Amino acid sequence: MQQPEPDDLTRSLARAARQDSSRFDELCERVAPALVAWAELKVGAKLRGSIEPMDVVQETWCRAWRSFETYDPEAASFRAWTFRIAKNVVLECARRSRRDSAADAGTTARHEVVHAAPDRATALSRRLARDEGVSSLLEWARTLGEDEHALFVHIGLEGLSYSEAGTRLGLQKDTVAKRWQALRERAARQPRFGDWLAEG
């Protein structure tokens, strides 16, 4: 099964934003719902003692904005690049949480993240946190079995290729492709989900 083509509109926006920084917000809007859902699913109970999902989202946008001039739209999709940043944010928080006491880690992590986030990232995160569509997406995702949940996160949200997801899950590329297409068809029946998910 052939891998779908990258999102051409997002790539075009990424090129435009390199020339005109005012387009960066528009670019973020295309990935933000998936990032908010990912953060909510990724930040488990233990880690929530040190940081909240929306803090991860805000810090991710802050770092993406600061380093956007290094982003190459021809080398990686904006979604994949953004999620690499988000994963680093979560890993850093997890390391800090293990290193420090729970109380100190929570205070320090939140202070560093919240005060670093630009106003536009904060506004976007808060709006999406209240969005009924994102809430519905999370509610649906939490009903999935373990294997489907992993596919949803790796391909639907993070935008990994079938090969990359297969390596993570120990599955053949064709198996991943078939399972994802079936899952995506189910997800697409939910309002607005299809607009937010990566093609795969």
pLDDT in tens, 39-55: 988 887 667 777 788 88
Angle at which helices 24-42 and 119-129 cross, to 10°: 50
Domains and CATH numbers, the chain: 1-130 (no CATH), 132-200 (1.10.10)
Residue 172 has pLDDT above 60, yes or no: yes
pLDDT confidence of residue 87: 93
- Of 111 and 146, the structure prediction assigns the larger pLDDT to 146
Q: What does the DSSP 8-state code read for residue 157?
A: I
Tell me how crowded residue 47 is: count the other CB atoms within 10 A of its CB. 20
- The answer for residues whose C-beta is within 8 angstroms of residue 25's C-beta and 6 or more apart is 120, 124
* Average pLDDT value over all residues in the chain: 79
Residue 85 has pLDDT above 90, yes or no: yes
Residue 181 has pLDDT above 70, yes or no: yes
Q: How far apart are alpha carbons 63 and 59 in whole angstroms?
A: 6
- The answer for residues whose C-beta is within 8 angstroms of residue 145's C-beta and 6 or more apart is none
pLDDT confidence of residue 102: 47
Residue 104 has pLDDT above 90, yes or no: no
| Burial readout 72-86 (b: 16 or more C-beta within 10 A, e: otherwise) | ebeeebbbbbbbebb
φ and ψ at residue 119, rounded to 5 degrees? -55, -40
The first and second tokens of residue 7, run together, are 């999102």
The first and second tokens of residue 10, run together, are 């997002």
Highest mean pLDDT pick, 88-92, 101-105, 129-133, 170-174 = 170-174
Assign 174 a pLDDT band (cuts: 50, 70, 90).
very high
Question: Could you tell me if 80 and 159 are in contact, meaning their C-beta atoms sit under 8 angstroms apart?
Answer: yes
Which class for 150: exposed (0-12), middle (13-18), buried (19 or more C-beta within 10 A)? middle
Assign 24 a pLDDT band (cuts: 50, 70, 90).
confident
Highest mean pLDDT pick, 1-5, 126-130, 143-147 = 143-147
